[in-house]
Structure 1
Amino acid sequence: MSNLRIALTTGDDDGIGFEVTAKALHKIGPQKGIQFILWRNDSASTKYLKLIDQKFERIVVDSLEEALNIEGPYLIDICSDLSPAHWVELSAKACMKKQLQGIATGPLSKTLIKDAGFKDLGHTDILKRISKTKTVHMGFAGSEFNVVLATGHLPVAQITKHISFSTVAEALINADLLRQALPKSQRSKPIGVLGLNPHAGEQGMIGSEELMVFPNLASFAKEKGIPFVGPLVPDAAFFKDNWKKYSVYLCLYHDQGLIPFKMIHGQDSGVHISLGIPFVRTSVDHGTAKDIAGKNKANPNSMIDAIKWAINLTRQQA
């Protein structure tokens, strides 16, 4: 049986992406049935290449096309002069052709994506464009709890315009994908859906969004066989005693989910998973951290988790 192939994109050249990827690969080591294809540029630190070489037999090539022609127990190292934004685009196209089974991405700045000539605002928009997927949700898996965002990078003033039954129902379907990928002990628990307003609206006294969404959402969830609880009161949902009650928290806007997630898991752990695209994509849950690049200070834990999740999800889907 051929190896499952996972591309590792290391992001901005002057960020910590290559450092955390090298450290993660050294920690994880070779995995049975998995071939890693590593994207990096020619300025990548020799020190971290040697770290990879302690665990892997590495073959250097110039392009993804060349990498895909190599079979065997090797790590394929693409030393590329393309923009890191193109690494993501080419890897996504290869996933759509079934030449790759997944991607684990390092941090990529929006400025670099723009400089590459793309109109996309981030990884997710690149993936949506290539896969022609209309609705993709950001999921975040952590050691303490998991979060899915019903809406993305919206200005606060526009959030209520995007909250509807259909929006939350689509997000619930994708949140259920994450639930089903969790260990058995977690996936048996319901998805907790947060309300939008303080006190989850107090039956319409503090906003009407909950009344417009949740009665229909309850019947929709029952029809689809999705275990569901909500609306949860936002300011109490993330009390520690509640973490193990839910398989996933479905949050209605970006900061409602990511402030508690990052407060608890920090900047160096947790995994971002793209939900709704037809292939596996995981990512670190931190930025490029250019202020510590080259100082050997970067914590690889998030990339370790991202690669492990990519391995597990590709195996589940094989």
Structure 2
Amino acid sequence: MQENEKIRLGISIGDLNGIGCEVALKTFQDNRMLDFCTPIIFASNKTISFQKNELELSINYNGVPDASKALSGKINVVNVWKEVPQIKFGEATKEAGDYAIKSLKAAVEALKKDEIDVLVTAPINKNNIQAEDFNFPGHTDYLVQELEGEGLMFMVTDTLKVGLLTDHVAVKDVANAITTKLVRSKIATIENSLKIDFAIRKPKIALLGINPHSGDNGVIGKEDDEILKPIISELSEAGHLIYGPYSADSFFGSDGYQKFDAILAAYHDQGLIPFKTLSFGKGVNFTAGLSKVRTSPDHGTAYEIAGQGKADHSSFKEAVFVALQIFKNRKEYKELSSNKLLRQRVRR
């Protein structure tokens, strides 16, 4: 990527029967967005044409055979498939799932080849994407396999950031899944992400308890005392600003959560219910800890309003801006680190 080039932003189109195409196209219907990046949608000309006509959206786009041919100042569509898939708005079909995966795989391949700089994924249906060559509970697990690093589901806004120790894990399996190794890994990932991706020099992180009332000193459960507290104590003594475990039921009920740069929740609903309650429509799902930048809106396929032109694209637009900012922050961090190393070598 040249210094004066815009960031190349790849978009996997998600479930064709949901609102993925709609929120993506609405975001870039505003031509001013093209001043910030070069959007590259992984689908097909015919698919995008059908969607824009059905949704009565006024946009122009440039069809390209692959991402490397994308033009700056244009909405680009990579023709991943030539056939015309049947679109049934509001229905969870196997065909829609298959094309969602085709789009995602093509986008991730382009990301790995540096043909795009960042990836924004439109919502998928976790049921109809399942196949012999794609057996993942969602985007995050697939991206962890394909890209280097330790994945962390990180829900973010300007003022609230919530990470998860476990994400798409059944509640009955959560306690067994949370190990000392996992907690150390997730804390390191979230701390590094806050420093590198969000430019927070000395991040302050809160951990929520695994059990109700953080176990009540072992009366309700021992995991908080045996796993979380020793790690928090050890890291605190080493100079890390790690606090907790806090009782999850009251943590978000006061303004106390605003004193932290991020919160690390034990499991999916413990973190996402308060996050979406406080920031729905403005939140972004970011996969921290990977070698590449991936974001997504904080909502699903929304079949109930698909094809009706009612979808709010605010979260998708935020996902675009967050991806661009993280990419810039990583680049700046890398440059600052290189300059620091260079100065250290000169002193020697």
Q: Normalising to structure 2: TM-score of the pair?
A: 0.80
Determine the C-alpha separation between the residues in 2 that align with 1:100 and 1:282: 14
Question: Structure 2 unaligned runs (5+)?
Answer: 82-97, 332-348
Q: Residue 305 of structure 1 aligns with which residue?
A: 318
Determine the C-alpha separation between the residues in 2 that align with 1:206 and 1:153: 24
SS in 1 for 2:111: helix
Q: CA deviation at 1:147?
A: 0.5
Determine the C-alpha separation between the residues in 2 that align with 1:70 and 1:157: 47
Cα contact 2:235–2:242 (8 A) shared by 1: no
SS in 2 for 1:112: coil
**Higher alpha-carbon deviation: 3-12 or 43-52:** 43-52
Q: Residue 7 of structure 1 aligns with which residue?
A: 10
Determine the C-alpha separation between the residues in 2 that align with 1:131 and 1:80: 21
Alignment of 1:283-302 (within 5 A): 283-302=296-315
Determine the C-alpha separation between the residues in 2 that align with 1:46 and 1:235: 44
Q: CA deviation at 1:80?
A: 3.5
Determine the C-alpha separation between the residues in 2 that align with 1:201 and 1:316: 39
SS in 2 for 1:39: strand
SS in 1 for 2:115: coil
Cα contact 1:59–1:74 (8 A) shared by 2: yes
State which of 87, 105, 108 in structure 1 corresponds to 2:121.
Answer: 105
Q: CA deviation at 1:28?
A: 7.2
SS in 2 for 1:148: strand
SS in 1 for 2:144: helix
Cα contact 2:296–2:316 (8 A) shared by 1: yes
Count of residue pairs brought into register by the alignment: 306
Q: CA deviation at 1:189?
A: 5.4
Cα contact 2:39–2:76 (8 A) shared by 1: yes
Q: Match of 1:46, as an amino acid?
A: K
Q: Match of 1:147, as an amino acid?
A: V
1:212 pairs with 2:212: no
Cα contact 2:42–2:106 (8 A) shared by 1: no
Determine the C-alpha separation between the residues in 2 that align with 1:283 and 1:271: 6
Alignment of 1:1-318 (within 5 A): 1=2, 2-27=5-30, 29-32=32-35, 34-41=37-44, 42-44=46-48, 45-47=51-53, 50-53=57-60, 58-61=61-64, 63=65, 66-81=66-81, 83-115=99-131, 117-131=133-147, 133=149, 135-142=150-157, 144-180=159-195, 181-182=197-198, 190-213=204-227, 214-220=229-235, 222-223=237-238, 226-266=240-280, 268-318=281-331
Determine the C-alpha separation between the residues in 2 that align with 1:189 and 1:24: 32
SS in 2 for 1:257: helix
Cα contact 1:153–1:254 (8 A) shared by 2: yes
Identity %: 27
Q: CA deviation at 1:160?
A: 0.9
Q: Match of 2:291, as an amino acid?
A: P
- The one-character-per-residue Cα deviations of 1:47-68 (angstroms, maximum 9, x if unpaired) are 4685343xxxx3112x4xx331
SS in 1 for 2:305: coil
Q: Match of 1:209, as an amino acid?
A: E
Determine the C-alpha separation between the residues in 1 that align with 2:71 and 2:59: 19
SS in 2 for 1:275: strand
Q: CA deviation at 1:210?
A: 1.5
Cα contact 2:20–2:123 (8 A) shared by 1: yes
Q: CA deviation at 1:9?
A: 1.5
Q: Match of 2:285, as an amino acid?
A: H
Change (3 A) 1:258 1:278: same
Cα contact 1:176–1:226 (8 A) shared by 2: no
Q: Match of 2:252, as an amino acid?
A: F
Q: CA deviation at 1:117?
A: 4.2
Question: Structure 1 unaligned runs (5+)?
Answer: none
Q: CA deviation at 1:95?
A: 2.0
SS in 1 for 2:304: coil
SS in 2 for 1:51: coil
Q: CA deviation at 1:205?
A: 2.8
Determine the C-alpha separation between the residues in 1 that align with 2:235 and 2:115: 36
Determine the C-alpha separation between the residues in 2 that align with 1:147 and 1:273: 10
Determine the C-alpha separation between the residues in 1 that align with 2:160 and 2:63: 39
Determine the C-alpha separation between the residues in 2 that align with 1:221 and 1:95: 37
Determine the C-alpha separation between the residues in 2 that align with 1:289 and 1:205: 41
Q: Match of 1:246, as an amino acid?
A: F
- The one-character-per-residue Cα deviations of 1:230-259 (angstroms, maximum 9, x if unpaired) are 111111111241231111110011111011
Change (3 A) 1:27 1:209: farther
Q: Normalising to structure 1: TM-score of the pair?
A: 0.87
SS in 1 for 2:182: helix
